[in-house]
Amino acid sequence: MNILITGADGQLGKELVRIFHENGDSVQPYNKQQLDITDFNRIKVLLSKEKPDLIINAAAYTKVDLCEERLGEAYLINAIGPYYLAREAKEKDIKLFHISTDYVFSGNRLIPYKEEDITEPQTIYGKSKRLGEELVLNICKDATIVRTSWLYGYGGENFVNTIIKMSDNLEQIRVVDDQHGCPTYTKDLGIAIKHLIEKPPGIYHVTNSGNCSWYEFAIEIIKILKKPTKIIPISTKEYGMKTPRPFYSVLSNKKLSDNQIALRNWKEGLFEYLKRECAFKDGN
């Protein structure tokens, strides 16, 4: 299969490139400099040249606070860009996968969100991603939307790497304990996406199994690394975030499991990630 991946230099994009290369597919990776998905003419020319069987759109503007300040840029990248890709995918009969987020939900409930639940984003990031989903599905009825959450992977700016760096220099770290979600390892997400290619199109929630608070996530990181750093639980209000975050954005994986795809527990994925990222040995 000939696969074109946008956002290929991001933490998920890099993992997708590796997974599909190892699968024997022909992979065409494009980063933002090589393919700005908000440039419709560039998309038309590139897709005519590459002739992919599948596009995986992993390009996104994910800086939640900056989205509030750069509203136009957020909507361009998270909504208009996916719309352009969908138009050309439909025109050229190319299968399209689009990566989305738990931020399309309000986070104001205490049971996992299913794919069919009403979306109520509370931020520009969430609203722009929801619009991207709607535009893609309005154009490509057979597109696949993959919603995920709390993503971390190699070479990326993510919570895990932030805690690692902070623990090297601080005796204690303050972490919010009243936001709950599903930590997701890019390797596990990428493998699930590979399996979803053979499944019916539609919206899928794809995260590692289990859930935790950011505080519990940080505790597990420090525990695996066996560092003396103390993690201090605080409230979101105490932390003083500029932009609201979902208090509960746990995604249900039932539809995924109904399609015979299962992701391991988030603690197992984290252990493997840290083993590779920090090059530590079992028992040390």
Question: Residue 204 catalytic?
Answer: no
**Length of the chain as a residue count:** 284
What distance lies between CA 5 and its chain's CA centroid?
14
Identify whether the C-beta of residue 94 lies closer than 8 Å to the C-beta of residue 47: yes
> Catalytic residue among 61, 103, 113, 125, which?
125
Q: Which two tokens stand for residue 215?
A: 């505080």
CA dist 59 and 36 (Å) reads 9
204-to-82, 187, 259, 275 alpha-carbon distances in Å: 17, 17, 10, 29
Are 239 and 174 a contacting pair, CB within 8 Å?
Answer: yes
Give the E-state strand segments of 36-163 in sequence order. Answer: 54-57, 95-101, 144-148, 151-152
Which helix H or strand E contains 212, and what residues bound it?
Answer: strand 212-213
**Cα dihedral across residues 28, 33, 34, 36: positive or negative:** positive
Among the listed residues 68, 282, 143, 205, the one whose alpha carbon sits nearest the alpha carbon of residue 274: 282
Burial annotation 230-255 (CB, 10 A radius, 16+ → b, else e)? ebebeeeeeeeeebebbbbbbbbbeb
Which residues are marked as active site? 125
